[in-house]
A and B are shown apart, each in its own frame.
Chain A
Amino acid sequence: MDLSLTPSQLLIRDSARAFVRRHVPRAELVRQAKEGQTWDPDWFGHFREAGWTGALVPVAFGGLALDPLSAALIFEELGRGAVPSPLIASSVIATGLLSGCQPSEQRDAALTAIADGIMILIPALRRPDMSWKGVAATGTALTGSNGTWVLTGSKVFVPFADTATHFLVSVTTPGDATPSLAIIPAGAAGIATRLLSGFLQANHQVDFDNVVLSETAIVRAGARSFDDSLAVARVVVAAYQVGGMLEMLEMSVNHSNTRVQFGTPIGRFQRVQDHIIRLLNAMDAAKWATYEAAWALEAGRNGVARSYLAGSTTSDSYFEAANAAHEVHAAIGSDPRYGLTLYTRISRTMYELLGPPGWQRRQMADALDW
């Protein structure tokens, strides 16, 4: 057993950490959030130069094909910086879905373009009329025949839809029981995008009104289920959440040491310590579930089940950690100028990004053959 990071993994982590420290000051994030700016294209340019847009893309398509833990370490640092970007949606989730599909010219070209950073492929999956039962259950029925299809319907809670060059839409073709994915240019006729206001980070509703698709737009499912194909994505998303918890822990400890009430730093009070320990336990449980899942995927040790454990644990933990951090900070933490609410908002937005925690636990049980 060796739970340490390899030198190359440390290098990758330090590189991501350096980027965040140099380019993403919290004050700038607070300013962007206040002004409703959802992402910074300059930062995305850096991701492209660093190769992170192709972190999970096979080498054959120009990607880095990083091992799950190395990829997770990049996103842990981005999560620690609360860096908003379509990178998770496009280079993690869409890439994961495409990687599990049958090879095709369309699929391979998309993976190449994602790695090059010239395509931002945003998954548009969830339907407004259905609860979450996995990606396969989200397909919107296409109409038409002979390889010319028409898509009409809505997808909701689509992250960073405003950044999309293309959408990756779950669909079902007539007479086909197995759902497929359609790669559709974001500027295609009949597509409208609406930002969903509220306690969310950059989520949208995307409406498709008689959008005409050719057969070449369709990418067919492979042998693995869509949700199994997302195992690495689940771990990387979890790592982003772990990063957020690490930062909230540091903010909370610092605040407890500098905020003085009753003539003493509040960290001296056991009740404040209790909140910090609650945060710490949530963070560590999530962090090690994530690291082990990354290892299990690489080592072929039922990584799918472990990815569900990591996914459900981190969603629960991030929510809980944010609550604990707010207990430590009291009113100061609820003042958006301070910066804690950047993380709180993400903890809520990502709670169900790849399915509710309860659904993920049921998937884990199935994957473990219970």
Chain B
Amino acid sequence: MEFELKYTKAQEEFRDEVRAWLAANVPGGITARPRSFEESRAVYFMRRELGRRLGAKGWLYPSGEKKYGGGGLNLDQIIVLEEETARLGLGLPPYYDSGGKMGGASIRVWGTEEQKQRFLPPIYRGEVRSWQLLTEPSAGSDLAGVKTTAIRDGDVYVVNGQKIYIGSHHGADRYWTIAVTDPKGKRHQNVSWFMIDASLPGITTQPLYMLSAQSEGETDEHGHKNIIFFDNVRIPTDCLVGGENNGWKVASTHLEVEHSGQGNIRTNPVWIALLAHCRTHHRDGRPLIEDPDVRAKLAEIFSRLEAVRLLSTRNFWMVYAGEKRSYEGSQVSYLRKTTNLWLTRAILDLLGPEALTNDPVLGAAGGIAEAQQRRGIVEQHPGGTTDIQRVVIARRLGVGNREPQQAGRLAEEGMARENPAVAQPVEA
């Protein structure tokens, strides 16, 4: 067993290439906290443009198959890309693209070859931004209880209904959504998934600002949500993915990704900011880091966050190594959410009320601490509440004398086995 990431010469060469490319292509100010709608829009356009450039190199969705516009990169290269973009405070994609990530992952598993060729390249090349549309006013945790309908009418489906708590700011090009295609059908056997053109007639959007928004119109992408209304929207039948009334099986892949089944190897950026703040900020005439109480609380925070990091790393390895997965995705989702909520008070105890303001002078860690206070609450719920995650974990374990449920299928499964570079002896 080897926990440490050791890098081959090829990886280090790839890192040099990535770092140089990012230095030349990532514009200044792309991670700035927007203070106005105009700034927010400007930052968004910067991120989309970076996405297109990354997409042109196959780095936007590096694990995606090359023939569909993905990078076709091996695990070693993906690790380097993740590390180098994270070093700049960016993710992949560098903008909110839930429909691209989860819709794309689902299409890879459940789409036809024609659909993969049609839907995936624009996502992978950064030409479109997509949102997932799942929650409805009366269907949150109970996804199978959605009321939005998509009724077949000749060569189209006619969609009616509304989705809530959707997306982020500045709109999307496509919607990845689940709807009832057989209103008289049995639960779980009456829903289907669609990748919908967001500009179709009959679709309207109403903004919705959550607790995590700084304020209305003055927001980063985390607090701005939307209500999307469908009023007799006619969509071509070839936008149906995975077969009519087969949506619950498709959902298994979507939810596996959303429930952290893919894992990651990132260090929590809030931790990095906290540690830096305690090293550089003075109180009572000394750096915070020299205060024994601060050190003890920092150590406690680090310990809790390390548990999340380790299990996320395990999930990442399991997927790429092709290990049989079960409860692991929901376990990480549950731990991440509960830890982030716990972290809100831990940070408040650590830093005091400076953790509650994003004031340019007083706000701790450049306002990152304050943002965490709000996001730690809001992010309890997207992608399944902690209660839902516990249900999934119990079912995957077979608790209650049930047949253990299986984890959802992912396209990346066994990727490392197919490309053994990661298992090769490490060069010095």
Chain A residues in contact with chain B, CB under 8 A? 34, 36, 126, 128-132, 156-157, 194, 196-200, 203, 205, 260-263, 266, 269, 271-272, 319, 323, 326-327, 330-332, 334-336, 341, 344, 348-349, 351-352, 356, 358
Task: Kindly state the separation between the CA atoms of A203 and B352 in the bound complex, as whole angstroms.
Answer: 14
B359 near A334 (CB under 8 angstroms)? no
Task: Kindly state the separation between the CA atoms of A260 and B136 in the bound complex, as whole angstroms.
Answer: 12
B208 near A200 (CB under 8 angstroms)? no
Task: Kindly state the separation between the CA atoms of A356 and B352 in the bound complex, as whole angstroms.
Answer: 8
Which residue of A131, A198, A269, A327 is within 8 Å of B380 (Cβ)? A327
- Does B138 belong to the interface (CB within 8 Å)? yes
B348 near A331 (CB under 8 angstroms)? no
Interface residues of B in 280-338 (CB under 8 A from A): 282-285, 291
A203 near B211 (CB under 8 angstroms)? no
How near does chain A come to B378, taking the closest CB pair, in angstroms?
5
- Does B145 belong to the interface (CB within 8 Å)? yes
B212 CB contacts on chain A under 8 angstroms: 334
Question: Looking at A128, A323, A349, which has the most chain B CB atoms within 10 Å of its CB?
Answer: A323
Chain B residues in contact with chain A, CB under 8 A? 135, 138-142, 145, 164-165, 208-212, 214-216, 282-285, 291, 341, 345, 348-349, 352-353, 356-359, 361-363, 367, 370, 373-374, 377-378, 380-382, 385-387, 390
Task: Kindly state the separation between the CA atoms of A261 and B146 in the bound complex, as whole angstroms.
Answer: 10
B141 CB contacts on chain A under 8 angstroms: 261-262, 266, 330
21 A-B pairs whose Cβ atoms sit less than 8 Å apart in the complex: A34-B216, A129-B284, A130-B284, A156-B362, A196-B362, A198-B367, A203-B357, A205-B359, A261-B145, A262-B141, A262-B142, A263-B145, A319-B345, A319-B348, A330-B141, A331-B140, A331-B210, A334-B212, A336-B210, A349-B353, A352-B352
Task: Kindly state the separation between the CA atoms of A196 and B142 in the bound complex, as whole angstroms.
Answer: 39
Residue on B nearest A36 in the bound complex, by CB: B215
A260 CB contacts on chain B under 8 angstroms: 138
B140 near A330 (CB under 8 angstroms)? yes
Task: Kindly state the separation between the CA atoms of A22 and B352 in the bound complex, as whole angstroms.
Answer: 36
Task: Kindly state the separation between the CA atoms of A334 and B215 in the bound complex, as whole angstroms.
Answer: 13
Which residue of A263, A335, A348 is within 8 Å of B356 (Cβ)? A348
Task: Kindly state the separation between the CA atoms of A276 and B29 in the bound complex, as whole angstroms.
Answer: 44
B283 near A131 (CB under 8 angstroms)? yes
Task: Kindly state the separation between the CA atoms of A203 and B354 in the bound complex, as whole angstroms.
Answer: 11
Question: Looking at B214, B285, B361, which has the most chain A CB atoms within 10 Å of its CB?
Answer: B361
Residue on A nearest B386 in the bound complex, by CB: A327
A348 CB contacts on chain B under 8 angstroms: 348, 356, 373
Task: Kindly state the separation between the CA atoms of A341 and B164 in the bound complex, as whole angstroms.
Answer: 18
A330 CB contacts on chain B under 8 angstroms: 140-141, 380-381, 385
Given contacts A331-B165, A334-B212, A334-B381, contact A261 B357 (CB under 8 A): no
Known A-B contacts: A196-B359, A205-B362. Give 5 more (CB < 8 A).
A131-B291, A326-B380, A330-B140, A336-B211, A351-B348
A-B pair number, CB within 8 angstroms: 114
A198 near B385 (CB under 8 angstroms)? no
Task: Kindly state the separation between the CA atoms of A170 and B216 in the bound complex, as whole angstroms.
Answer: 37
Residue on A nearest B377 in the bound complex, by CB: A326
A334 near B357 (CB under 8 angstroms)? no
6 tightest A-B CB contacts, nearest first: A198-B357, A261-B142, A271-B387, A196-B357, A198-B370, A330-B381
B356 near A198 (CB under 8 angstroms)? yes
Given contacts A131-B284, A260-B138, A336-B211, contact A198 B386 (CB under 8 A): no
Given contacts A199-B356, A356-B352, contact A323 B140 (CB under 8 A): no
B363 CB contacts on chain A under 8 angstroms: 198
B353 near A203 (CB under 8 angstroms)? yes
A200 near B142 (CB under 8 angstroms)? no
B370 near A199 (CB under 8 angstroms)? yes
A271 near B216 (CB under 8 angstroms)? no
Task: Kindly state the separation between the CA atoms of A320 and B23 in the bound complex, as whole angstroms.
Answer: 44
How near does chain A come to B141, taking the closest CB pair, in angstroms?
5
Task: Kindly state the separation between the CA atoms of A156 and B354 in the bound complex, as whole angstroms.
Answer: 9
A335 near B385 (CB under 8 angstroms)? no
How near does chain B come to A271, taking the closest CB pair, in angstroms?
4
A335 near B387 (CB under 8 angstroms)? no
Given contacts A199-B373, A331-B165, A336-B211, contact A358 B348 (CB under 8 A): no
Task: Kindly state the separation between the CA atoms of A157 and B359 in the bound complex, as whole angstroms.
Answer: 11
B359 CB contacts on chain A under 8 angstroms: 194, 196-198, 205
Task: Kindly state the separation between the CA atoms of A131 and B353 in the bound complex, as whole angstroms.
Answer: 10
A323 CB contacts on chain B under 8 angstroms: 341, 377
Task: Kindly state the separation between the CA atoms of A334 and B281 in the bound complex, as whole angstroms.
Answer: 32
A356 near B349 (CB under 8 angstroms)? yes
Given contacts A131-B284, A156-B362, contact A197 B357 (CB under 8 A): yes
Residue on B nearest A349 in the bound complex, by CB: B356
Residue on A nearest B353 in the bound complex, by CB: A157
B362 CB contacts on chain A under 8 angstroms: 128, 156, 196, 205
Question: Looking at B348, B356, B381, B385, which has the most chain A CB atoms within 10 Å of its CB?
Answer: B356
B353 near A352 (CB under 8 angstroms)? yes
B352 near A331 (CB under 8 angstroms)? no
Task: Kindly state the separation between the CA atoms of A358 and B300 in the bound complex, as whole angstroms.
Answer: 16
Task: Kindly state the separation between the CA atoms of A78 and B386 in the bound complex, as whole angstroms.
Answer: 32
Task: Kindly state the separation between the CA atoms of A260 and B208 in the bound complex, as whole angstroms.
Answer: 22
How near does chain A come to B153, taking the closest CB pair, in angstroms?
29
Task: Kindly state the separation between the CA atoms of A272 and B411 in the bound complex, as whole angstroms.
Answer: 35
A272 CB contacts on chain B under 8 angstroms: 387
B380 CB contacts on chain A under 8 angstroms: 326-327, 330
B165 CB contacts on chain A under 8 angstroms: 331
Residue on B nearest A195 in the bound complex, by CB: B359
Task: Kindly state the separation between the CA atoms of A327 and B390 in the bound complex, as whole angstroms.
Answer: 13
Task: Kindly state the separation between the CA atoms of A196 and B354 in the bound complex, as whole angstroms.
Answer: 10
B210 near A335 (CB under 8 angstroms)? yes
How near does chain B come to A140, taking the closest CB pair, in angstroms?
15
B357 near A129 (CB under 8 angstroms)? no
How near does chain B come to A156, taking the closest CB pair, in angstroms?
6
B284 near A331 (CB under 8 angstroms)? no
B353 near A200 (CB under 8 angstroms)? yes
Which residue of B145, B211, B291, B356 is within 8 Å of A334 (Cβ)? B211
A331 CB contacts on chain B under 8 angstroms: 135, 140, 164-165, 210, 381-382
How near does chain B come to A34, taking the closest CB pair, in angstroms?
7
